[in-house]
Amino acid sequence: MNVLWLKYAMKIEHHIRNCMVIQHFNLYRAASVGFLIIILTLSINSCSDQTAVKAFLTDIKKTPPQNRARVLDAFLQKNKKNALPLIDGNEVLFGLRMNTQKSVYLTGDMVQWEKDSLQMIHLAGTDFYYLQQKFPLDAYIEYKYVVGDSFIFDPFNDKRSEGGMGANSLLMMPRYEFPQEILKTQNVRTGQIDTLTFRSTVLNNERSVFIYEHPLTQKKAPLLIFQDGEEYLNFAYAHNILDNLIHEEKIPPVKAIFVNPVQRLKEYWMDDRYTKMLFTELIPTIKEQRKWNEAVSVGLCGVSLGGLISVYTLKTYPTVIDFVISQSGAFWVDNQKIIEVLQPLQNNEATVILQHGSFERQDGIHEAIMKLLKNRNFNVYEQRVHAGHNWGNWRTYLGDALEHVFVKRSL
């Protein structure tokens, strides 16, 4: 048997057996074509000496260039579908095999999708490009590789996340908690969703609206208004979240209106005609048609620009709105204007939840809005999570916000 491969196998085995918190360990050896094939099944949280990421990089760099392809093949054999990224504690090794003369980059939430800020390192003697990164242990990250003008899924990772701009490869760090409430659950009573086309006189247009009503809803049930309505249903699975939280008695039975935009950039960019349409046309019309006139509370929920317009609506309708959930509110489109709009607000006890991802780098404006609203007696809560500007973030933490609104759960 080739001595080089035997030494490599022994190094890895020694490294693994010295790790104190291994959940699964299976090592199989087989002689094939004169070298050792190693198949590893690992789930490592931390290690007392070297991490798995550093161990792999150290060993492969010590290997002569002409033999590195075999080392790499042996490493990737452990899990053909999800061999990479290799996660060990807060360290992550990204890797791509690509026969190209072009520079290869990693992009994603962690760099706000800048395509050329994280150049990957070419491993001499192979077609392998790699990059080591560190992330918070509970981070949720969407990413892709960039080769030339092409954005490429990670071929070693079959996890995908869908969103309004398409799908991305997905990295979930070890302490990220998957939101079970987004799943459709057996033996859970589900809300009925009706679709209608609403024509606005104020905006002179038509839009699709989806109306959710849970079978346990009472006349004086809370009413939720979701901006980007269809995407909340398709990508956040908001109807499943409502069904499951109601079933678990974490929120009361509710009614909801999921409103589609027509000219999204214009309507959500702090447009007074849009908010007028909501509160003088759409909501009154649906309340009358469905006999919802006794709604006990009204709340707005939106992501990105939808979060911006939801907070902006407090300017004109502060006494009508009982709570606002802003998920990654795009206040950055005009920081100064949103602050100026909120300045004149008088004392108000409405609840405002400001959720945003740390990778979005919007801490400053969120803190400024929170401070301003608190000074006007709003009940304001900030939830900063280790995620980016995407539906994966928003569906993960929507349930937290809804629970907090109704039962004051800590964020």
Give the CATH number of the domain where residue 106 resides: 2.60.40.10
Question: Which of 382 and 409 is assigned the larger pLDDT?
Answer: 382
Confidence of residue 357 (pLDDT cuts 50, 70, 90): very high
- Is 85 within the bounds of a domain? no
Q: How many domains does the chain have?
A: 3
Contacts 24+ apart (CB under 8 A), 279-282: 279/313, 279/316, 279/317, 279/320, 280/202, 281/198, 281/200, 281/201, 281/202, 282/198, 282/200, 282/209, 282/257
8 Å CB contact between 311 and 326:
yes
DSSP 304: T
| 229 and 203 within one domain | yes
The answer, yes or no, to whether residue 236 has pLDDT greater than 90, is yes
List helix spans (H) across 248-379. 264-268, 272-276, 283-290, 305-312, 335-342, 363-374
Boundary residue ending a domain (78, 105, 138): 78
**Same domain, yes or no, for 223 and 299?**
yes
Nearest to 333 by CA among 314, 372, 358, 307: 307
* Residue 190, token pair as written in the block: 């589900």
Residues shown for the chain: 411
Establish if 83 belongs to a structural domain. Answer: no
What CATH number does residue 402 fall under? 3.40.50.1820
Domain that holds residue 167: 90-176
The DSSP code for 120 is: P
Give the pLDDT confidence score for residue 49 in this predicted structure.
Answer: 44
Residue 33 has pLDDT above 90, yes or no: no
Same domain, 342 and 285: yes
Tell me what pLDDT residue 411 has. 63
> Band of the pLDDT at 5, cuts 50, 70, 90?
very low
> Looking at the structure, do residues 373 and 399 belong to the same domain, yes or no?
yes
Query: Can you tell me the mean pLDDT for 95-119?
Result: 95
User: 11 pLDDT band (50/70/90 cuts)?
Assistant: very low
Query: How high is the pLDDT of residue 13?
Result: 44
Q: Nearest-CA neighbor of 305 among 406, 253, 231?
A: 231
Are 105 and 154 within one domain? yes
**Range with lowest mean pLDDT among 217-221, 234-238, 338-342:** 217-221
pLDDT digits (tens, 9 = 90+) for 310-332: 999 999 999 999 999 999 999 99
The DSSP line for 310-323 is HHHGGGT-TTT--E
Q: CA angle 64-67-70, nearest 5°?
A: 145
Q: 250-260: per-residue pLDDT in tens?
A: 999 999 999 99
Asked whether residue 247 falls in the same domain as residue 380, the answer is yes
Hey, what are 375's tokens? Answer: 């000074």
The more confident residue out of 62 and 137 is 137
Q: Are residues 122 and 6 in the same domain?
A: no
199 and 346 share one domain: yes
Mean pLDDT along residues 116-137: 95
Cβ neighbourhood burial of 108 (10 Å; 0-12, 13-18, 19+) = buried
> Does 25 map to a domain?
yes
36's CB contacts (< 8 A; 6+ apart) are 1, 2, 5, 6, 8, 9, 29, 30, 74
Residue 302 or 28, more confident: 302
Picking from 78, 107, 142, the residue at the C-terminal end of a domain is 78
Instruction: Report if residue 253 sits inside a domain.
Output: yes
Domain co-membership, 352 together with 383:
yes
pLDDT at 6 over 70: no
The band of 35, judged by pLDDT with boundaries at 50, 70 and 90, is: very low
The domain boundary residue, chosen from 56, 78, 100: 78
**Is 84 a member of any domain?**
no
The more confidently predicted of residues 7 and 329 is 329
pLDDT in tens, 130-162: 999 999 999 999 999 999 999 999 999 999 999
Nearest CA to 221 among 290, 295, 146?
Answer: 295
| Residues of the chain above pLDDT 90, percent | 75
The β-bridge relationship of strands 192-200 and 205-213 is antiparallel
Residue 43 falls inside a structural domain:
yes
Element (H, E) at 106: strand 104-108
Q: What is the pLDDT of residue 59?
A: 84
